[in-house]
Amino acid sequence: MNSEFDIIQQYFDWQPSSDSVAIGIGDDAAVLNLSHRQGQQLVISVDTLIEGVHFPKNTPAEAIGHKALAVNLSDLAAMGAEPAWFTLALSLPESNQAWLNDFSAALKQLADQYNIQLIGGDTTRGDLSLTLQVMGFVETGKALLRSGAMVNDKIYVTGTLGDAAIGLAMLQNRLDASSYTQKARHFCQKALNYPQPQHCISQIIKHYATACLDISDGLLQDLGHILNASKVGAQLDLSSIPLSKSALELGRNQALPYALSGGDDYQLLFTVGPEKEQQLQNVLKDNNNKDLKISCIGKIDDKNEGKITDYLGHVINTAGYQHF
């Protein structure tokens, strides 16, 4: 058995590649330079993942390492913030070398990809759970909030929805995986275990969006958060909800509930005013990057504050995943 000190030193004491870290792992606290952050605000988010709640038992260590950081980076993307640092609190039933190797390698790979530095950690013995706190920076006053949606704004999402929820349903045998192609099974499993934070597109849409969040609890519930914060309602065009080819193997009607309420998408949901919509479309077209896919799925209205209706005016139930 290793001591807590050894675990941090052995698996997580990566040399910081940024001079923003004056003192990293190894003292009572990290010390971070802010001298080149004039005109910026600090953006902070914290998320816990617990085995059996946020990921199934027997999820591979590398998937846990990736997902734990990815869902936190997704919160920074939702604010339009640039990643800077993170801390890791890891609770483990035992010090398992193979597990720690796989976990820390995946964590480091994603951290390097998004240029975010691990600056502090705490390991404890207990059931498997992780709490990550990510920190980033945004130009003062430019953070994308939930509260800025205005009547007549269009509602957009990035990527496709429901894939991760379908992957989970296959894993838990609520869907018969053998009915689908291997490609679809693999795609949905990857969407569940290896979500990709939408930072690239976030750095574009932050100049156009009036409100934004990342979809973690399901489209309807998360749209409800924007509507409540912005004191508006919304009309959704259910036929425009973007579904992947893999999801469509279920048939559109069977796939749609996963896209509406499944959760774990980590795509961005955002609103854009009519005067900026064309500009945004042009920028994305010029960018010519097929990963930067966005879909208009409806518009903000003033008919039913906090309520979501379809284009026939029928109220759509927003109940999604609840932790309690």
Residues 223-252 contacting a copy of itself, CB under 8 A: 229
- Least CB distance from residue 38 to a copy of itself, whole Å? 8
Q: Where is 280: in which H helix or E strand?
A: helix 274-287
* Residue 40 binds to a copy of itself (criterion: CB under 8 A): yes
State the minimum distance, in angstroms, from the CB of residue 167 to a copy of itself. 21
217 and 318 Cβ atoms separated by less than 8 Å:
no
Q: What is the DSSP string of 290-323?
A: TT--EEEEEEEESSSTT-EEETT-PBPP------
Q: In this chain, which of 9, 109, 126, 183 binds a copy of itself, going by CB under 8 A?
A: 126
Radius of gyration over alpha carbons of the chain, in Å? 20
CB 195 within 8 A of CB 67: yes
Place of tokens 């205005």: 150
Identity of the residue, 129 or 193, whose beta carbon is nearer to a copy of itself in the bound complex: 129
Residue 24 near residue 119 (C-beta atoms within 8 A): yes
Nearer to a copy of itself, 229 or 284 (CB): 229
Residue type, position 243, single letter: L
Q: How far is the CB of 174 from a copy of itself (least distance, A)?
A: 20
Q: Which of 59, 104, 117, 129 binds a copy of itself (CB under 8 A)?
A: 129
Q: How far is CA 278 from the centre of its chain?
A: 26
* C-alpha–C-alpha distance, residues 226 and 213, integer Å: 8
Which 9-38 positions form the footprint of a copy of itself (CB under 8 A)? Answer: 22-23, 26-35, 37-38
Select 31 or 151, whichever has its Cβ closest to a copy of itself: 31
Say if residue 89 is exposed, middle or buried (CB neighbours under 10 Å; 0-12, 13-18, 19+).
middle
* Range 131-150, binding a copy of itself (CB under 8 A): 131, 133-136, 138, 140, 143, 145-147
Q: Which of 92, 311, 290 is nearest to 201 (CA)?
A: 290
Q: Cβ 239 to a copy of itself, closest distance in Å?
A: 28
Q: How far apart are the C-alpha atoms of 75 and 45, rounded to whole Å?
A: 7
Given the complex with a copy of itself, which of 40 and 281 has the nearer CB atom? 40
User: Which residue from 65, 83, 121, 159 is in contact with a copy of itself, where contact means CB under 8 A?
Assistant: 121
Site for a copy of itself in 178-217 (CB under 8 A): 213-214
Query: Under rule CB under 8 A, which residues in 61-90 are in contact with a copy of itself?
Result: 75-76, 78-79, 81, 85, 87-89
CB of 314 to a copy of itself, least distance (A): 24
CB of 20 to a copy of itself, least distance (A): 9
Whole-angstrom Cα distance, residue 309 to residue 189?
31
Enumerate residues 255-314 that contact a copy of itself by CB under 8 A: none
How many residues sit in the footprint of a copy of itself (CB under 8 A)?
Answer: 72
- Give 207 or 245: the residue with its C-beta nearer to a copy of itself: 207
81 DSSP 8-state letter: P
